[in-house]
Amino acid sequence: MESNHIVTPGELVESNAANILPGKGVYKKDGKIFAKVLGIPRKAGRVVSITPLRGKYLPKKGDLVIGRVVDITLNGWRVDINSPYSSLLPLKEFPAMVRRGDDLSKYLSIDDYIASIVANVSSQNIVDLTMKDAKCKKLDQGLVFRINPLKVSRVIGTGGSMISLIKQKTNCKIILGANGVVWIQGLPEQQLKAMQAVKLVERLAHVQGLTDKIKSFLES
């Protein structure tokens, strides 16, 4: 099974699957395994699964996410984190002391971007955020854009190798949210170069030898 081979829903993945277990994104029928989703087949031991090429971000506790403030309530700020679920940054989870009754727009206004951590996901899929972490901050200036959340791990690379390469070659600060939202800050032309590199990784995520291709692009 080639690691860069893309399969479509219904496509045969394994013809002789008597001793193979179906994982995520596949189903087993008549001793064969077929794809449920568009993606790249992976095999780990006896388990075959598919890494999807498209999908929504589903928040998990501990995720670093980049979000946009979309509403201000009495209890805090509602934040769009590129997810089907509603999320809230409560007053108590803001890093500065905020007194009840204060004008909250003095701290965060609508359309401000923030880096925050998913503190909790309730059984009703309500997401609580926190900014009480060294990684969290209001994102002033810079460039913000979205990529497929399922490609985030590829943009990060093994041990952070890919994102480190882009940072090094462009001299930009980059925060990559688990929700597929990216913030880049640097000189304007380098911001653009870094964004193009991230999008290139997203587009060519299934291609082998990708690190060399990105390095060549950044050095061109």
> Would you list the domain boundaries of the chain?
12-52, 64-138, 143-219
Q: Determine the residue type at 154.
A: R
> What proportion of the chain, given as a percentage, has pLDDT over 70?
97
pLDDT, residue 130, reads 98
What residues form DSSP beta bridges with 174?
184
pLDDT of residue 4: 53
Q: Please compute the mean of the pLDDT values over residues 22-35 and round it to a whole number.
A: 92
Q: Is the pLDDT of residue 148 over 80?
A: yes
pTM across the whole model: 0.76
d(CA 9, CA 52): 11
CA 110 – CA 77 distance, rounded (Å): 9
How far apart, in whole angstroms, are the C-alpha atoms of residue 152 and residue 182? 10
**Which range scores top for mean pLDDT: 17-31, 47-61, 97-111, 128-142?**
128-142
Starting from the edge strand earliest in sequence, which strands make up the sheet with 173-176, in order? 143-146, 181-185, 173-176
pLDDT band at 2 (very low <50, low <70, confident <90, very high): very low
Q: What is 64-138's CATH superfamily?
A: Nucleic acid-binding proteins (2.40.50.140)
**What is d(CA 94, CA 128) in angstroms, rounded to the nearest whole number?**
12
User: Does the pLDDT of residue 14 top 80, yes or no?
Assistant: yes
Q: Establish whether domains 12-52 and 64-138 are of one fold.
A: yes
Given a contact cutoff of 8 angstroms between Cβ atoms, the answer to whether 138 and 79 are in contact is no
Average pLDDT, the chain: 92
Question: What is the CATH code for 12-52?
Answer: 2.40.50.100
Q: What is the pLDDT of residues 170-217, one digit of tens each?
A: 999 999 999 999 999 999 999 999 999 999 999 998 788 999 999 999
Query: What are the structure tokens assigned to 207, written together?
Result: 């291609």
Q: Over the stretch 123-147, which tens digit does the pLDDT of each residue have? A: 888 899 999 999 999 999 999 999 9
Q: Is the pLDDT of residue 52 over 60?
A: yes
pLDDT by residue (tens digit) across 72-125? Answer: 999 999 999 999 888 999 999 999 988 878 899 999 999 999 999 999 999 888
Residue with tokens 């791990």: 153
Is the pLDDT confidence value at 33 over 70?
yes
Chain mean position to CA 65? 8
Task: Tell me the C-alpha to C-alpha distance, in Å, between residue 147 and each of 71, 171, 201.
Answer: 24, 21, 10
Residue 43, pLDDT score = 83
The label of the residue with tokens 């991230």 reads 198
Q: Does residue 155 contact residue 129 with C-beta atoms inside 8 Å?
A: no
Pairwise CA distance, residues 27 & 180, whole Å:
28
What CATH class is the domain 143-219? alpha beta
The residues that bridge with 127 in the sheet, in sequence order, are 87, 121
